[in-house]
Chain A
Amino acid sequence: MGQYGIGQPVRRKEDVRLLTGKGRYTDDIHFDGQLWAAFFRSPHAHAKIKSIDSAAALSVAGVRHVFTGEDMRKGGMKPLVADINFTDRKGNKMYKPVRHILPSDRACYVGEPLVMVLADSAEAARAGAELIEIDFETLPNITSTAKAAEPDAYVLHPEHGSNIAVHWENSAPDEVDALIAQAPHKVKIHLVNNRLIVAPMEPRCAVATYDAKEDVITLYSPTQGVRPAQAGFAGLLGIDKKKLRVISLDVGGGFGIRSKRYPETAAVAWAAKHINQPVKWRGDRSETFVSDHHGRDQVNDAVMGLDKNGRVIALRLETIVNVGAYSGDNGPRLPIDGGGRIIPCGYDIEKFYFSVKPVYTNTVPTDTYRGAGRPEANYIMERLMDAAAEECGLTRDEIRRRNLIPLSKMPYRTQMNFVYDSGDFIGTMDKTLELADWKGFASRRKETEKRGKLRGIGLASFVEQAGGRPTEEMRVKFDENGKATVFSGTFSHGQGHETVYAQMVNDYLGVPFDQIDFVQGDTDTTPPGGVGTFGSRSSMMGGVAIKRSCGQIIMKGKKIAAHLLQADPAAVTFENGLFRVGVSSISIQDVARAASDPAKLPEGVTPGLDESNLFEREPDLNNFPNGCHICEVEVDPELGTIEIVKYTALDDCGVVLNPLIVHGQVYGGVAQGIGQALTEDAIYDAESGQLLAGSFMDYGMPRAHHLSMIEAHFTDDQPCKTNDLGVKGAGEAGACGAPPAFVSAVCDALTPYGVKHIDMPLTPERVWTAIQQAKAHKAA
């Protein structure tokens, strides 16, 4: 183990580079002779394109080319059809509209890219784009999630006849409905899960070059894994994967939206080849607001029946998810078999009906965003439990204690057919109550009230599922000097893989921490089975593949060591970087050196100490991070402002490889959850279909002063039982726990007014209005 081993709070290898301005992000690179791209974007939510005139744009000094989607289609660009299929209970298939890269017939949301202009400078390209003339015939539009699902709603894609892509159900509702009808207690909730702008701090960027001799396009762009991007864009470009090299340099945050098949990126790659010249597009922030996928955007209606002891009898849940103008590769999946498949989360509910309607609207497509369906699912369950506590006359912790899956039922098969391998949900909640001094709240409330404010406390018990795609490949290679390099299939965009994987190699192979290099993000060197980093999967997938690669290295090393020490391979042991037989030993570095010399190898052993492992898990063997978060707030009833005064988190992420880094994941996830619940809202104007929150001026990114210090703890007795490392995902739990804990706390603070629920975000205006309405209601 040692100072740099697994479980240590090792300071990151990445940091000195990033702290001294030596990070290298896509926008930092330029190529000789590069042209700059700019896009003309739809100013309308919905409009027919009657004609496109590029003459004025082409007359701008420095503008070299103007390309429409039609040009691209003629040049081999394929339409984008989502890689996703669902059927309703009658077997009808989900409707998927065809998305053209830069459509030339119809614009379906504000900001949709329609024409690309290439020029010698970024300014000239932008000036050219401003002069593109399109004759539009505006059409009616629909942006509202709830309204889009109504039978008389304006229909965006008329060939389908409805905005509902598919009505997916887990079963027939009849049995659940009958049980709820007879239940002694019923609760009913209606929730809006607000649309969010993902906004990683590095705006999207794409640079492409073309090698005509080899017929290879090289695309530089921030992704969360170069292999999926390579496959996705090669498909759109209609070329073989081998003819597209994808490179991701340092990436300024991802949160789910990076590896998507974006039209601008495809257009840049297409143009570089088409004109045989490097092309660069630097998205500015306002552009990324309308071109990066958005997150969340659901409306949920749930009814739950409980017996007289407060045990849930049955649950009926209906979700509408706004997937935007076209289906992304994940949008409709999120509530169904994406993250939302976790529902009903940590609760032992036997009878459960679940319906999902993904709807098309004139908005930016939604897709994966930190948690990708799990925050929404946990929010529903936690708001239901708070409502049930009140209905049944139980405390909020007691209603949960009566319904959470007890440790004795582990492993537990869920409604949606996952098997929870571990997790002490009740024990974790009880410990968190202690850590947060739940019992002492009453006196803290009194103290706050003396100052004319209200104080509330809220808790959320959550479960999520981590792992994403079931394969990942990693490679560990020694060079002839005994230095090790990890070639990573996963892709770190802030998670500190360079550090954590080096801790593992240090631990398993005894190689000094500073003698371990790290390579990621280039399809020329990334292992062929590499996938990437999303769905909190890197430790459980990449980590296991590293461990197994190291195991393979030891196996091979033993053979070589035995040969060098003239011993029986079976007698060789390996520990702390040394192969031993009796009193003789040889270091792994010396074995690596010998391995590069065929003359020193036993018969049948190939040169080199270089092992890859393609780890494949059973597709449903995800892991199930869980925990309990408790939030305490003060509300100023005169202003409706909220201050977080205490936040306590107890997370079960199984075995923790580096507590410093995992704590960072918790803090970041909580901040994004608080952002959703307190400040963030991507609002469309119902009439014009314009995105009203179009920049950081109008969109409430959480800032340092919105948050307080988070007191984060880990459980230490629930390792995951289904992977070699015992790890569970850690990246998304915070975003699951924070919104329900926070909303619960604010509603608790507003108990004197009888406010039961406020939809997110809980802006001062919404809180103040809720208080005023409650007062007026009382007075009446």
Chain B
Amino acid sequence: MNISLTINGEKITRDIATNLLLADFLRDNLRLTGTHVGCDTTQCGCCIIHLNNKAVKSCTMLAVQADGAQITTIEGLAGANGALHPVQEAFREHHGLQCGFCTPGMVMMGADIVRRLPGADEATIRHQLEGNICRCTGYQGIVEAIMDASSQAKGI
């Protein structure tokens, strides 16, 4: 089936199998390997992207369902001039990543939290991260980073 969509600002048309998962389409077909796959049960959040400005797990939808959508992946989050997104910046500042495997999903989720809930407190952020697993960091740097970016977004 033919699909057309915009990924990181670029219009893309592809003829793909109807059973292809969006995560595999991004990774294997488009070689946008920043989006990761860490599970097969929609639990880990390594695969989170923004679809029409909302965080979604790209492992849990078919690529054909994204026909016509606007998608941002981790590769497209930083500004065109290469300036890091405030959440990326905060992850670096607060040591929110170790091995980096959960990181793209965490950052995409973090950016979504910051957009929806500026000024969110620690408990809210921990709760919001229910669908993201990190095995390395104990979540401390991640939560601190999102809190920091979230309070900046509110101008606190």
List which A679-712 residues lie within 8 A (CB) of chain B. Answer: 695-697, 701, 703-705, 707, 709-710
Question: Which one of A252, A664, A671, A672 contacts B101 once the chains associate, using CB atoms below 8 Å?
Answer: A252
Q: Which of B43, B107, B132 has the most CB of A within 10 A?
A: B43
B98 and A253 contacting across the interface, CB-CB below 8 Å: yes
Cβ contact within 8 Å between A671 and B99: no
**Which range contains the number of A residues in contact with the other chain?**
35 or more
Selecting from A58-66, A176-184, A488-496, A606-614, the interface stretch reads A488-496
**CB-CB < 8 A to B41: which residues of A?**
285-286, 695-697
Majority secondary structure, A binding face: loop
Query: How many whole Å from A711's CB to the nearest CB in chain B?
Result: 10
Within 8 A of A (CB), among B29-70: 31-41, 43-44, 46
CB pair B100 A667 closer than 8 Å: no
Question: Which residue in A23, A663, A670 is a CB contact (below 8 Å) of B100?
Answer: A23
Question: Interface stretch among A8-16, A310-318, A469-477, A569-577?
Answer: A8-16
B127 within 8 A of A: yes
User: In this assembly, does B153 line the interface, its C-beta being within 8 Å of a C-beta of chain A?
Assistant: no
Binds B, one of A152-160, A200-208, A339-347: A200-208
Whether the pair B74, A20 counts as a contact (CB closer than 8 A) is: yes
**Among candidates A493, A661, A672, A709, residue contacting B99 with C-beta atoms closer than 8 Å:** A493
In contact, A253 and B126 (Cβ under 8 angstroms): no
Determine how close the nearest CB of chain A comes to the CB of B31; give it in whole angstroms.
8
A772 to chain B, nearest CB (A): 29
| Beta-carbon contact of B101 and A202 below 8 Å | yes
Give Cα A231 to B86, complex, Å: 44
- Chain A residues with CB under 8 Å of B117's CB are none
Please, which residues of chain A bring their CB within 8 A of the CB of B38? 201-203, 252, 285
Q: Does A90 contact B (CB under 8 A)?
A: no
Whether A705 lies near B99 (C-beta < 8 A) is: no
A38 on interface, CB distance cutoff 8 Å: no
A18 beta carbon closer than 8 Å to chain B: yes
Please state if B95 and A201 are interface contacts (CB–CB under 8 Å). no
Residues of A close to B97: CB separation below 8 A: 15, 18-19
What is the bound-complex CA distance between A15 and B142, given in angstroms? 13
The contact of A21 among B104, B136, B138, by CB within 8 Å, is: B104
Whole-angstrom distance between the Cβ of B93 and the nearest chain A Cβ: 7
Instruction: List A215-262 residues whose CB lies under 8 Å from chain B.
Output: 250-255
Cβ contacts under 8 Å, B104 to chain A = 21
User: Does B84 count as interface, using CB distance less than 8 angstroms?
Assistant: yes
A15 to B: closest C-beta gap in Å: 4
B126 touches A201 (CB 8 A): no
Residues A660 and B95 in contact, CB atoms below 8 Å apart: yes
> By the criterion CB–CB under 8 Å, are A253 and B135 in contact?
yes
Report A371 CB to chain B, min CB distance, Å. Answer: 14
Chain A residues whose C-beta falls within 8 Å of the C-beta of B40 in the assembled complex: 284-286, 695
- List of B residues within 8 angstroms of A30 by Cβ: 28
B34 touches A710 (CB 8 A): no
* Residue B73, interface by CB 8 Å: yes
Closest A residue to B73 by CB, please name it.
A21
Closest Cβ of chain A: how far from B25's Cβ, in Å? Answer: 13
10 smallest beta-carbon distances between A and B, as pairs: A21-B34, A252-B101, A18-B100, A671-B138, A494-B99, A667-B138, A494-B98, A696-B43, A21-B74, A28-B33
Q: Give 19 new A-B contacts, CB below 8 A, not counting A669-B138, A704-B130.
A: A12-B92, A18-B97, A20-B74, A21-B75, A23-B100, A27-B37, A201-B44, A201-B136, A202-B36, A250-B100, A285-B39, A494-B100, A695-B39, A695-B41, A696-B44, A697-B43, A703-B130, A704-B129, A707-B139
Which B residues are closer than 8 A to A by beta carbons?
Answer: 27-28, 31-41, 43-44, 46, 73-75, 77-78, 84, 88, 91-93, 95, 97-104, 107, 122-123, 125-127, 129-130, 132-143
